[in-house]
Structure 1
């Protein structure tokens, strides 16, 4: 009999997927966009994540299959070009996330260790090698990946909670820092919303719960609890972390340390020791996120290929694992070395917002079967769609390369599927 997982395990999977590399990678970016309104930006993104979690919970309970999002899309759209394009976009969005986490690992690693004496070269070495190390671990033992995740989740949560407690204590020492959080330091509502959408990638990890629902004990009672428990906890955690960060450092210091701002925010209260502890936490967190994402994206790629939406080549086994693991890692290394953090984050957020809009719409269309509230599904669909448009329009003026990359990935996902399906029909 297949081993089942508890509600606590399912919530841990969701929290581990969200509190991975995302918060370490995009916090500085969020502050640069939203300034003192950064906690609001995280709240906006969190509300969309919570509404989307409702759709995922209802769909997971009705269709508890290990394919998760891929299987939800098939339930509504079959296996045509549209379904294949969406599933390809999901896989490529995972690749983008892998690049985002690796970028964060490289930035934090270069702050702690110097290899060549040139920071930019060190960052590239760290961000490329960590993907290769994670790939090797995935080929070596999937069980080891799970063990690393279990330990990493506990370590990073304990340290981040301690960071919040120490940060609030720091406000009593430096009360003048709280002034940066006042509304006069907030950016315009459109920038607050845009900031929330650029950092939406920090929430996307709850999607991993869908892949474990088939093994969850007492699905009827625990599915919604797993999703809302994980997402709700992380929304509160992110808002508190952003409050501490904005209240710890002047905006110009946050801007100059954008790629490793969480470690920098620990310095005013704990000095170099705080910087080092948070940096090590970032390395542990991003490494565990990279590990889990190589596994998750490799499996998604394999499922899509088995469902005949990618060439059968991707379902081939290489050294005991799907070759998609290797392809995913190679593409992520290329991406992280070709684009900057903001471009990668924009592309990742855009991809997941579009995928989540589709999943919410599937929930809306199937609300009778799901016995769910169609208006919540519809609201989530509209908000994900508006968030996607807001992100693209606002970022186009500031980060044109990121927007072009994001739209290029979306178009490529559907063109790839169209060409593949056209090739199949000729055989």
Structure 2
């Protein structure tokens, strides 16, 4: 295998500024985001009273993926995440496929998060607010990763405060009933798996820590500590919120809720908190959008360095030490997407692509040796199998559209290789 990829010797290298707490904050900003405000309802619709089982399955797969990603990121502390790991451990094609799925899928997710900000903050001007949010956060990222971390700290604090208010209001209300947590006959295996697939993406933000590997100080120590810390905190938050909401709404009420956390506080008799929850959802979506732009731009940078994307995107700003061209392009594409229409209903392939991305990460981790910090083999095997099972348990449209987008990327890769070979 090749030597670990580092920024050393790269003319346009990023600056290592982030410590453990910074990396944890970025992970929390990615995970404790809009997903917890929106993912619970469709997951409850799929699993019914089996929702807690779906959440547990999603957490197990997320843990395996996080462990594999952390070990790989420590070994290869460069921008790009699984694009780099797949390339180094499995071959150029697998790295490219992971990077392609991540960039395309997460760009669509950026648009969805921006529209979520607009729909919560000012429903009458959803698209205008969404575009403004993209422009503002692209500017924050352009000014340097440290500024992004400062803003993310504020966002995480606000969102945690809002979630705490939801939990307290729900659990202390007279309508709370622990019997609503019981798993009944409506919890079919297929529905539970589908709910796990939907809930998994509320955990997937820890990838942002890995994709920022080139900007982390002492990555061999920082990344393996930051990823499980961020994931563990997020899991505790999600379990507490899910339990609180279920005790008030029950599986059926949760499944039918358009805004489940708002409905929970209303059902708990705390209607005055509804505007606060709506504001919290908007802020959470901002946090997710900020972290998504960071992650997509760094993977774009890595692919541009290898000329899988235009090489001009590999430039790093001489002052701010960020991939400014990649960030500007991502911001422009997302702004155009949200200005043209509502893409939230057309990003099923994003979910499929992210699970394939992590499947490649687990397969890459399986090839590590003990001397390279390989995780226990069972972790990589369970992570790989879990990703594939959850990917194909998603709704049929998500599977078909996701597979089509990956096939398009594979075709583009093949055409490029053919042209280079003929060159």
- TM-score normalised over the length of structure 1: 0.84
Instruction: Specify the alignment match of 2:73 in structure 1.
Output: 60
**Compared with structure 1, are the counterparts of its residues 82 and 59 closer, same or farther at alpha carbon in structure 2 (3 Å cutoff)?**
closer
| Aligned-residue offset at 1:141 | 5.6
Deviations along 1:350-406, whole A, 9 cap, x unmatched?
Answer: 111111111101111123442432232122212212222222xxx11xxx3x33322
Specify the SS of the correspondent of 1:75. helix
| Aligned-residue offset at 1:57 | 1.8
Aligned: 1:198 with 2:211:
no
Instruction: Specify the alignment match of 1:409 in structure 2.
Output: 405
Cα pair 2:26 2:291 within 8 Å, conserved: no
| Aligned-residue offset at 1:285 | 1.3
Specify the SS of the correspondent of 1:35. helix
| Aligned-residue offset at 1:205 | 0.6
Aligned: 1:380 with 2:393:
no
Instruction: Specify the alignment match of 1:93 in structure 2.
Output: 105
Q: How does 1:37-48 map to 2 (within 5 A)?
A: 37-48=50-61
Query: Residues of 1 paired with 2:172 and 2:253: CA distance?
Result: 20
Aligned: 1:418 with 2:417:
no
1:150 to 131, 149, 153: 153
Specify the SS of the correspondent of 2:307. coil
Deviations along 1:236-273, whole A, 9 cap, x unmatched?
Answer: 21122122222222666545542x32222222335332
Query: Residues of 2 paired with 1:318 and 1:214: CA distance?
Result: 15
Query: Residues of 1 paired with 2:207 and 2:244: CA distance?
Result: 27
| Aligned-residue offset at 1:424 | 3.2
Cα pair 1:27 1:261 within 8 Å, conserved: yes
Instruction: Specify the alignment match of 1:84 in structure 2.
Output: 96
Q: Which runs of 5+ in 1 are unaligned?
A: 116-121
Deviations along 1:307-356, whole A, 9 cap, x unmatched?
Answer: 11123254468999644334434544565666664652x32221111111
**Compared with structure 1, are the counterparts of its residues 205 and 85 closer, same or farther at alpha carbon in structure 2 (3 Å cutoff)?**
same
Instruction: Specify the alignment match of 2:47 in structure 1.
Output: 34
Q: How does 1:253-292 map to 2 (within 5 A)?
A: 254-255=254-255, 257-258=257-258, 260-269=259-268, 271-292=270-291
Aligned: 1:12 with 2:12:
no
Query: Residues of 2 paired with 1:256 and 1:190: CA distance?
Result: 19
| Aligned-residue offset at 1:138 | 3.5
| Aligned-residue offset at 1:72 | 1.1
Query: Residues of 1 paired with 2:214 and 2:310: CA distance?
Result: 27
Q: Greater helix share, 1 or 2?
A: 1
**Compared with structure 1, are the counterparts of its residues 159 and 375 closer, same or farther at alpha carbon in structure 2 (3 Å cutoff)?**
same
| Aligned-residue offset at 1:164 | 2.0
**Compared with structure 1, are the counterparts of its residues 34 and 230 closer, same or farther at alpha carbon in structure 2 (3 Å cutoff)?**
same
Instruction: Specify the alignment match of 2:5 in structure 1.
Output: none
Query: Residues of 2 paired with 1:317 and 1:377: CA distance?
Result: 34
Q: How does 1:393-408 map to 2 (within 5 A)?
A: 395-396=395-396, 400=397, 402-408=398-404
Q: How does 1:111-150 map to 2 (within 5 A)?
A: 113-115=122-124, 122-139=125-142, 142-150=145-153
Specify the SS of the correspondent of 1:235. helix
Instruction: Specify the alignment match of 1:118 in structure 2.
Output: none
| Aligned-residue offset at 1:289 | 1.7
Query: Residues of 2 paired with 1:385 and 1:256: CA distance?
Result: 28
**Compared with structure 1, are the counterparts of its residues 13 and 291 closer, same or farther at alpha carbon in structure 2 (3 Å cutoff)?**
closer
How many residue pairs match? The answer is 405
Deviations along 1:142-197, whole A, 9 cap, x unmatched?
Answer: 54333211211122123223322332222xx124x443322127431210111110
Cα pair 1:103 1:127 within 8 Å, conserved: yes
Instruction: Specify the alignment match of 1:119 in structure 2.
Output: none
Deviations along 1:278-313, whole A, 9 cap, x unmatched?
Answer: 111111111122122223212211221111112325
1:362 to 361, 364, 382: 364
**Compared with structure 1, are the counterparts of its residues 185 and 140 closer, same or farther at alpha carbon in structure 2 (3 Å cutoff)?**
farther
Query: Residues of 1 paired with 2:293 and 2:421: CA distance?
Result: 32
Query: Residues of 2 paired with 1:27 and 1:129: CA distance?
Result: 28
| Aligned-residue offset at 1:407 | 1.9
**Compared with structure 1, are the counterparts of its residues 304 and 161 closer, same or farther at alpha carbon in structure 2 (3 Å cutoff)?**
same
Q: 182-191 or 123-132: which moved more?
A: 123-132
Instruction: Specify the alignment match of 1:312 in structure 2.
Output: 311
Query: Residues of 1 paired with 2:146 and 2:219: CA distance?
Result: 24
| Aligned-residue offset at 1:210 | 1.4
Deviations along 1:108-150, whole A, 9 cap, x unmatched?
Answer: 23xxx453xxxxxx44444444334433444456543332112
**Compared with structure 1, are the counterparts of its residues 255 and 330 closer, same or farther at alpha carbon in structure 2 (3 Å cutoff)?**
farther
How large is the RMSD of aligned CA atoms in angstroms? 3.0
Instruction: Specify the alignment match of 2:179 in structure 1.
Output: 179
Query: Residues of 1 paired with 2:76 and 2:350: CA distance?
Result: 26
Query: Residues of 2 paired with 1:421 and 1:167: CA distance?
Result: 57
Deviations along 1:191-248, whole A, 9 cap, x unmatched?
Answer: 0111110232111110111134555556555543322211122122112212222222
